[in-house]
Amino acid sequence: MFLISTFFVLEFHLAMSMTLRVIVHDSDIRKVVLEETPADADADALKQVLQKKLQLAYPFNLQYEDPFFNNALCNISDINDLPERATVKIIPLDTSPSSSQADTIILSGSDTSEQLSVERQIVWPDEIPKFSVNVEYLLRQGNLAFMKDGTTADVGRDIKHDILEGLAGAIYTFRAYPSDEDFTQVAKSKMRKSGCSDVAIGEKRGAMKATKHQGIKKPRRSELNFLPNFPNGENEESQECTRIELVEEMKRRPLNMSLIGQKMDSTFALRRKEIVHSEPLVSDILEKWPALFLESQIFAEFSRISGRNLRSEFYTALDTHSARLIEIFKKRGGNQGKKLDEILQQVYSKPSDVTVVRSAVLQGLPVLLGDESEDFFRMCFDLDVEADFSGVDVGLLTIFCEDMPARCPNDLNVDAKRAIILEEKVVMDDVPTLPHAVCLLFALIYALNLDYPKTMSNTFEFVQRVMLSLGAKNLKPKLQTLKNQLFR
């Protein structure tokens, strides 16, 4: 790998001061004034002055274009050797013991035969580098136009080339192979300074300590709009007025679903701010945002946050992998195999019932991944008002009629209704099937910014990362093992 070297063009006279015209690279030209000539015309002293003035964090040598040899490069040993108008070149030195030939770069122009390597700066910067005067001017004018009337700049091909070339040169001084995290760090810095609350809250919450109802932001969930800014012309007060109108609209019958959807869209920023910053109890959210617990709005909120159609993608992924997962279930032995076999017995009796197959897969996954699902899957008869759900922060409830035979919470009886438990209370009932209840619960976890239940974290992360391809690809060993088996 080769690196284009950095040039500095210095224009000065040998007196008590030097005026330097410095080209950091082709798109970064600076003027540097040295008040005094380095003592004893020493080249090392000149390097130290330039390093301090230009804030260069790496060691380098100096060469200059000697007019007596058709401007061929020569090392500087005495600054008195420099012509009146000198072109000086900075040559980065490689002092790192771990550097290799792969870090070397080929020089441009007449120096293509020289190969150099560079000692990179350790600390990855938070800022993008400065570009040429022309590029910086055009970008500044574009920013002003956008701030004034929202007009976007038309960046031509030449400007893009200069920007990319400048970025590539600056990046290589830090990393030969920068990671996604490196790029993200710089982007976050710029976004925070631009007032993007979505990025600012992620950093703030990362330092917070979680309590029972206070979970830390999970960037691995791949939220596109975790904490959006208010729309243009809107603020907290105006959106609060719309929220109150929305609450009143929810009291009318029949519900105007189109109007409710519009008001939910328009108040998304306020709702996320309250949920993320204040982290209210689910019961408080239910009171302030009752429309958020409508099935249509649960899926709509997931789409607002992640940009994905959960209902469609969830069932597609479930149906795609069901057959292979059931094969894996059958091959398991020991206590795990016995539990899986109990679930599969119900599939054998109704092999063509897609709901039974889907339910079996969703109840078998926790067993396969070593989760403890006993407190997650609950059962009761006719939603008994005396049912005790204390200690259940997140769970699914199977509701049997009094005359309906039931064996356990894992019963796949398709005639039973399902309900969703959040913070020890039923927040949704009359859900027709187990797969639909799981899908709704997954969306609610995003909408309410809840942590996955600890006893079911492997299952939910597998659904998120493997089945829905949401978030980082690096998986815990159990999840990676099952993924490997699934796609074998």
292 contacts 271 by C-beta, under 8 angstroms:
yes
Mean pLDDT over all residues of the chain?
A: 77
More confident residue, 235 or 111: 235
What is the arithmetic mean of pLDDT over 300-310? 93
HEC per residue, 400-469: ECCCCCCCCCCCCCCCCEEEEEECCEEEEEEECCHHHHHHHHHHHHHHCCCCCCHHHHHHHHHHHHHHCC
Phi, psi of 308, rounded to the nearest 5 degrees: -120, 150
Cis peptide before 290 (omega within 30 of 0): no
| pLDDT of 272 | 94
**Which has more pLDDT, 1 or 238?**
238
Task: Give one DSSP letter per residue of 38-51, joined into a string.
Answer: PGGGBHHHHHHHHH
Supply the pLDDT for residue 129: 74
| Least confident range of 54-68, 116-130, 139-153 | 116-130
Nearest Cα to 305, choosing from 196, 245, 246, 221?
221
Per-residue pLDDT at 200: 58
Average pLDDT over residues 112-126: 46
Query: Do 414 and 356 touch, CB atoms closer than 8 A?
Result: yes
CA-CA distances (angstroms) from residue 172 to 102, 165, 356, 373?
12, 11, 56, 50
Question: Is it the case that residue 203 has pLDDT exceeding 70?
Answer: no
> Region 128-141: what's the mean pLDDT?
79
Q: Which pLDDT does position 460 carry in this prediction?
A: 96
- Residue 450 reports pLDDT greater than 90: yes
**For the chain, what are the domain ranges?**
7-116, 124-194, 197-307, 310-486
Task: Categorise residue 308: left if φ over 0, alpha if ψ from -120 to 50, beta otherwise.
Answer: beta
**Position with higher pLDDT, 99 vs 171:** 171
Tokens found for residue 7:
């040039």
Count CA atoms closer than 13 A to 305's CA, side-chain side: 28
pTM: 0.60
Hey, which of 140-149, 218-227, 298-307 has the most confident mean pLDDT? 298-307
